[in-house]
Structure 1
Amino acid sequence: MRSMLRPMLATPGSHVPPGEEWVHEVKWDGIRLLGDSPSGRTQTRLTTRNDNDATPAWPEIATGPERDVLVDGEVIALNDAGLPDFRVLMDRMHNRDVRRAARFAERIPATYMVFDLLRLDGRLLIEEPWTERRRILEAVQAEGDLGSWQVPGTYDDGRMLHEVTKAQGLEGIVSKRRVSRYRPGERSRDWVKLAHRYRASLVVGGWRPETGTEGGTERLGAVLVGQPTPDGLVYRGRVGSGIGAKQARRIAELLRETAKSPFAGPDVDPDGGVPALDARGTHWVEPLLVVEVETHGTPVAAPTYKGRLRQPSFIGIREDIEPEDL
């Protein structure tokens, strides 16, 4: 049985909605999945936003409750810093091999954070207000009928939650109108999401030409950046977004090319250095220029996903800072 529903989507916001009509939740940095557990089935069907079957990838979640429920939630896993991080799940999310999925489940255990209840015991709840759906969800959880699935808390003070999640390095918050109905597949203003962005000063260790460069002259399109550590310059990722023509010319003027990669580890090393995809076609430079980068998630990341930036964008050149200052 297919749910035939799509997740309701939140509208990006610029500030925390004020007033008692709103309730606030943590925005989890994970993978959005609907969990459909029809009565009598021993396995839950997990589907993506496009109704693709993701069940084989998450065996520890698919063995969900035997009770008839349809829920909305986020699959998360923790990095070495103890924070939910999408990058930890990247190797798992596209896997459909049962044996490999079992190994992943043991090595990178995932948790299903359920935040909405759409059906219970054959009764569709999407026309009920959020407050009623939440009341029933908490009752089902209290009865122990959700198994290992977790129901995260909600908060009345959105500004406090926004500040705390930013301080803790979490992705952000989602604010919901208490009277909101569940609108499958719609991006509704009754749900507002505010994602945190973090800034970091990092050192340029290489640059890549802009794709589609004409006339035989290579123009700078992206830079490879790293973080100075006692073990050397640790690679953090490739940054191209936000680098316009003027910024590209200025960056290029300040770079001094070298024959060898300045990053710690071999020039191409998927287990610690620069990945082959990023190293291919890169011009290495001396690690002298500091740039400001904005990214989702804290820029100092855990070894399990090699500390890579997520959706980074270039902010500017820090000519007031030397690499030694970092």
Structure 2
Amino acid sequence: MLATPGSHVPPGEEWVHEVKWDGIRLLGDSPAGRTQARLTTRNENDATTAWPEIADGPTRDLLVDGEVIALNDGGLPDFRVLMDRMHNRDRRKAARFAAERPATYMVFDLLRLDGRLLVDEPWTERRKVLEGLHADGDLGSWQVPGTYEDGHMLHEVTKQQGLEGIVSKRRGSRYRPGERSKDWIKLPHRYRASLVVGGWRPEVGTEGGTERLGALLVGQPTPDGLIYRGRVGSGITGKRAQRLGELLRETGRNPFAGPDVDPDGGVPAVDAKGTHWVEPLLVVEVETHGTAVAAASYEGRLRQPSFIGIRDDIEPKDL
């Protein structure tokens, strides 16, 4: 069951609210008689091998829905921490990943228990049984995150703490596998940041000929130099791309601080290849998921960034 994007926290006592986790959605199936659970993705791909610390879960017969999360260096759940693990099917590598940065399975719904399907039960009943299983230790290492009555409070707190957002659920809702339902409303946080352009990449398919601007490489000014924060392509089309091209002053020098200055400052080879470096003079406004420009973020990279506009009212020194 998938949540529908919303524009505001739904009001009323018929709704309950949860933290929206920045992780990987997995179903956990622990059939009777098996010592290891089977973990599957939304596309029904078997992901059990990738998560050994999670697969060794409960021994009771149950099927749950949840999110695998791992914390970044700032202590926040961060999808990018999981990227190297999500497609891995090598058991030795999986064991090493689990030891270096263990993941946690946050279970938020119960679909089957002891052979009985619960999908047609209201959310309140499924949640009550799930919390009872957790309290009795029947879920092993799997965790059950809290729920909150005050959605506006949770929305504001998660924003302040740099979490991904919230999900609001109708108390009487049934679980509809595979469906996107308005009984679940997701409200992810989007953050604005003013960053400096240090380079641009041509639009795919225009390299070598009449190159059109397709993406910007942006960074954050610091006392140690311009620290690379990522590549922004979404939102750059037509007149916007043309206007940006007119304002950028090309140079043969990479303006970003390298790894010798800041471990997160260097531009990855995949982003640097084919880039036209520019004087770091232009400030742009970028919208992104998560507080990626904060010092506590994992590698300080933007997540799903989009270009908002040119900030001709401020200069890099103002940042």
TM-score by length of 2: 0.96
Q: Does 1:100 align with 2:93?
A: yes
Tell whether 2:65 aligns with 1:72: yes
Q: Determine the C-alpha separation between the residues in 2 that align with 1:48 and 1:215.
A: 40
Say whether 1:19 aligns with 2:12. yes
Task: Specify the code of the residue in structure 2 equivalent to 1:114.
Answer: V
Q: For 1:166 and 1:266, how far apart are their aligned partners in 2?
A: 30
Change (3 A) 1:162 1:303: closer
Alignment partners' CA distance in 2, 1:42 and 1:98: 17
Equivalent residues in 2 for 1:160-179, closer than 5 Å:
160-179=153-172
CA distance in 1, matches of 2:112, 2:277: 56
Residue deviations 1:60-119, cap 9 Å, x none? 000001111111000001111111110111111111100100110011110000000111
The alignment yields a C-alpha RMSD, in angstroms, of 1.8
8 Å contact from structure 2 (residues 78, 298) kept in 1 = no
Structure 1 letter corresponding to 2:12: G
Q: 1:231-263 CA deviation, whole Å, 9 max, x = no partner? A: 211111110111122111221121111111111
Among 178, 182, 185, the alignment partner of 1:185 is: 178
- Report if the CA contact (8 A) 1:200-1:299 is conserved: no
Matched to 1:55, the amino acid is T
Inter-CA distance 116–318: structure 2 relative to 1 (3 Å threshold): same
| 1:318 aligned to which of 302, 311, 314 | 311
User: Identity across aligned pairs (percent)?
Assistant: 85
What letter matches 2:91 in structure 1? V
Query: Shift of the alpha carbon at 1:148?
Result: 0.9
* Residues in 2 aligned to 1:63 and 1:230: alpha-carbon distance in whole angstroms: 47
User: What amino acid sits opposite 2:5 in the alignment?
Assistant: P
Q: What SS does the aligned partner of 1:170 have?
A: coil
What residue in structure 2 maps to residue 275 of structure 1?
268
User: 1:270, 1:276 within 8 Å by CA — same for their partners in 2?
Assistant: no
Mapped to 1, the partners of 2:18 and 2:90 lie a distance apart of: 34
Corresponding residue for 1:157? 150
Q: 1:215 to 1:99 in 2, by over 3 A?
A: closer
Point out 4+ residue stretches in structure 1 off by more than 4 angstroms. 269-272, 301-305
Per-residue deviation at 1:304?
Answer: 8.1
CA contact (8 A) 1:88 1:304 kept: no
Structure 2, unaligned runs of 5 or more: none
CA contact (8 A) 1:79 1:302 kept: no
Within 5 Å, give how 1:299-318 maps onto structure 2: 299-300=292-293, 305-318=298-311
1:97–1:304 CA distance, 2 compared to 1 (3 A): farther
Corresponding letter in the other structure for 2:231 = R
Q: 1:126 to 1:304 in 2, by over 3 A?
A: same
Q: Which of 193, 204, 211 does residue 197 from structure 2 map onto? A: 204
Q: Structure 1: any 5+ residue segments left out of the alignment?
A: 1-7
The answer to whether 1:298 aligns with 2:296 is: no
Q: Deviations for 1:192-224, whole angstroms, at most 9, x for unmatched residues? A: 111110010111000011123399321211110
1:233 equivalent in structure 2: 226
Change (3 A) 1:248 1:37: same
Residue of structure 1 aligned with 2:248, choices 250, 255, 272: 255
Instruction: Give the TM-score, by structure 1 length.
Output: 0.94
Amino acid at match of 1:251: L
> Which residue pairs with 1:3 in the alignment?
none
Cα displacement (A) at 1:266: 6.7
Is the 8 Å Cα contact of residues 228 and 264 (structure 2) preserved in structure 1? no
Partner of 1:45: 38
Q: Does 1:284 align with 2:258?
A: no
